[in-house]
């Protein structure tokens, strides 16, 4: 069965995707701060700098950005050019998916995926090696 959220988006607009990017990054920063409070993990890299638009990545009504990380990597984000409420507030399977590094996610999953970039488990001080 194909996830209906991955279908091409009719009438997608790059200006909507760009406006959605601000809301998305705000949600990512909020979630990253929550994840940073998890005692078993620590952050080794974080979002750093401004998103870089890459039109070559655009596909199916989703518009590409590279989100630079402090360790030199970039997270590839394909953000739908649809109304924010369709992405963030629609909890049906038809809600357009975002793509993070090639994997389709609905809004909250994509937020978690980007916020979790750069997290590692803390070494266990009681475990040798």
pTM, to two decimals: 0.92
Q: Where are the domains of the chain?
A: 10-121
Q: How many CB atoms lie within 10 A of CB 91?
A: 9
d(CA 87, CA 72): 29
pLDDT in tens, 84-115: 999 999 988 899 999 999 999 999 999 999 99
Are 90 and 83 within 8 A, CB to CB? no
pLDDT in tens, 18-64: 999 999 999 999 999 999 998 889 999 999 999 999 999 999 999 99
Residue 123 has pLDDT above 60, yes or no: yes
Could you give the C-alpha distances from 123 to 71, 75, 116, in angstroms and in order? Answer: 20, 25, 17
Q: Is the Cβ–Cβ distance between 73 and 80 less than 8 Å?
A: no
């Amino acid at each position: 069965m194909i996830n209906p959220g991955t279908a091409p988006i009719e009438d997608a607009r790059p200006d909507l995707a760009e406006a959605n990017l601000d809301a998305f990054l705000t949600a990512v920063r909020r979630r990253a701060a929550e994840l940073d409070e998890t005692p078993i993990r620590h952050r080794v890299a974080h979002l750093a700098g401004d998103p870089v638009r890459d039109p070559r990545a655009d596909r199916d009504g989703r518009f590409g950005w590279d989100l630079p990380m402090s360790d030199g990597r970039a997270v590839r984000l394909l953000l739908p050019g649809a109304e924010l409420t369709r992405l963030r507030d629609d909890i049906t399977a038809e809600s357009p998916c975002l793509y993070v590094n090639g994997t389709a996610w609905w809004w909250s999953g994509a937020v978690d995926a980007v916020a979790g970039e750069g997290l590692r488990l803390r070494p266990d001080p009681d475990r040798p090696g």
